[in-house]
């Protein structure tokens, strides 16, 4: 007589109703944050060549887009700005009349139920494309932090609901917390890009944000992709400095890091499925090499399963339509 297994894990897989009941991870559109790129001008909606379905938009188009996102039930956007003028000091980043400050005011005036988060960095605003002030080829830390704090303050004064520093300078979370508090914005949360790797997956973003560095790379401030323990020190530092939400970026190739950060700190944890992750799935889908929709869902569920409470993703709108 053959012996049969008593334990049969397949028992819960035959019936789709049962499969639904035992599913451990749910992807909800409420978990998603949609990145948007704002450019000067009017009536501009320009597709980014390396990111099909993602556009640079002028403020008027952006406001209409935000109304649509609100209709679709998406909860939040994160804004990236491409200024009219770039200079060595990234002046437009902290100009109260800068592109993001104007965009935030315009959205807030017309769209009531959409959380507006702004990315805090200088790389889109500097003529050299680096994330801070330069001394020769070196990025100055403390001088840059001062400007980042001013950038954050002007965004919040314009109406931003949350700020997300992505620059990876040391001490910027503390500086942003301080300037916000001193100006009466004690209730505005900081979502810190606490663990941000020096990743090749940002390639398409630099087309979208026109922020590729003119020389060198970002390895003097973003993390070495080989390090995990250092990620915990980065997260810990930002938590001590007052970060309310901790982000890991990129997401798909760093699921172990999301898991570790979540396990160790139990903080609200965000993950950024970055441009390159999006473009790879899109490209393979367009070529018929992968089932795009299926892989999109799988990639996002994996990020949630790893411990992310919220995901920044260029697929947010597709998901919202799908789950509607």
Q: Catalytic residue numbers?
A: 196, 249
Residue 32 interacts with ligand PBG (CB under 6 A): yes or no: no
Q: Which helix (H) or strand (E) holds 149?
A: helix 142-158
CB closer to ligand PBG, 70 vs 210: 210
Nearer to ligand PBG, 47 or 181 (CB): 47
> What residues between 98 and 127 interact with ligand PBG by CB under 6 A?
119, 121, 123
Q: Say whether 123 counts as a known binding-site residue.
A: yes
For the record, the structure tokens of 220 come out as 């003097």
- Asked if residue 234 binds ligand PBG (CB under 6 A), the reply is no
Q: Which is nearer to ligand PBG, 117 or 320 (CB)?
A: 117
Cα–Cα distance for residue pair 76/272, rounded to 1 Å: 14
Site string for ligand PBG, 251-280 (x = CB under 6 A): -----------------------xx-----
Using CB atoms within 10 Å of the CB of residue 3, give its burial: 0 to 12 exposed, 13 to 18 middle, 19+ buried.
Answer: exposed
Q: How is 242-290 classified by DSSP, letter by letter?
A: T-SEEEEES-GGGHHHHHHHHHHH---EEEEE-HHHHHHHHHHHHTTSS
Burial of 2 (0-12, 13-18, 19+ CB in 10 A): exposed
- Say which residue the tokens 């897989």 belong to: 13
* Residue 218 labeled ligand binder: yes
CB of 242 to ligand PBG, least distance (A): 20
Residues 189-218 that bind ligand PBG (CB under 6 A): 202, 205-206, 218
Nearer to ligand PBG, 62 or 201 (CB): 201
Residue 254 is assigned to a ligand binding site: no
Torsion sign over Cα 280, 285, 290, 293: positive
Shortest Å, Cβ 109 to ligand PBG? 25
**234 among annotated binding-site residues:** yes
313 contacts ligand PBG (rule: CB under 6 A): no
With CB under 6 A, what is the number of residues at the site for ligand PBG?
10
Judged by DSSP in three states, 228 sits in coil
- The residue (of 58 and 275) whose beta carbon lies closer to ligand PBG is 275
Angle at alpha carbon of residue 107, lines to 182 and 250, rounded to 5°: 75
Q: If phi over 0 gives left and psi between -120 and 50 gives alpha, with beta otherwise, what is residue 46?
A: beta
Residue 245 contacts ligand PBG per CB under 6 A: no
Q: How far apart are CA 289 and CA 75, in angstroms?
A: 32
CB 52 → ligand PBG: shortest distance, Å? Answer: 14
> Which of 318, 299, 322, 320 has the alpha carbon at shortest distance from 250?
299
> Which residue in the shown chain puts its C-beta closest to ligand PBG?
205
Task: Rule CB under 6 A: choose which of 56, 58, 166, 269 binds ligand PBG.
Answer: 166
What is the binding site for ligand PBG (CB under 6 A)? 119, 121, 123, 166, 202, 205-206, 218, 274-275
Q: List the binding residues for 5-aminolevulinate.
A: 206, 218, 275, 314
Q: List the binding residues.
A: 121, 123, 131, 206, 218, 234, 275, 314
């Amino acid at each position: 007589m053959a012996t049969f297994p008593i334990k049969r894990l397949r028992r819960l897989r035959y019936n789709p109703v049962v499969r639904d009941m035992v599913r451990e991870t749910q992807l909800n559109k409420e978990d998603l944050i949609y990145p948007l790129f704002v450019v000067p001008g009017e009536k501009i909606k320009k597709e980014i060549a390396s990111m099909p379905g993602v556009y640079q938009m002028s403020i008027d188009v952006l406001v209409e887009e935000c109304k649509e996102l609100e209709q679709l039930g998406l909860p939040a956007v994160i804004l990236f700005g491409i200024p009219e003028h770039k200079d060595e000091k990234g002046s437009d980043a902290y100009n109260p009349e800068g592109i993001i400050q104007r965009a935030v005011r315009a959205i807030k005036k017309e769209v009531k139920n959409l959380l507006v988060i702004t990315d805090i960095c200088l790389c889109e605003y500097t003529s050299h494309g680096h994330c801070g002030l330069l001394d020769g080829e070196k990025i100055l830390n403390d001088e840059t932090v001062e400007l980042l704090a001013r950038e954050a303050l002007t965004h919040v004064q314009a109406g931003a609901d949350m700020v997300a520093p992505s620059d990876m300078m040391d001490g910027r979370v503390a500086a942003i917390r301080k300037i916000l508090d001193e100006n009466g914005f004690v209730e505005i949360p900081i979502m810190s890009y606490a663990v941000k790797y020096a990743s090749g997956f940002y390639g398409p973003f630099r087309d979208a944000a026109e922020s590729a560095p003119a020389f060198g790379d970002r390895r003097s401030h973003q993390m070495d992709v080989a390090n995990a323990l250092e990620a915990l020190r980065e997260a810990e530092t930002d938590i001590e400095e007052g970060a309310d939400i901790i982000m890991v970026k990129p997401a798909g190739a760093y699921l172990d890091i999301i898991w570790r950060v979540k396990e160790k700190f139990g903080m609200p944890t965000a993950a950024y499925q970055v441009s390159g992750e999006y473009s790879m799935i899109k490209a393979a889908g367009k070529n018929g090499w992968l089932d795009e929709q299926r892989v999109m869902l799988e990639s996002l569920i994996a990020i949630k399963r790893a411990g992310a409470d919220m995901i920044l993703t260029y697929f947010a709108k597709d998901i919202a339509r799908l789950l509607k």
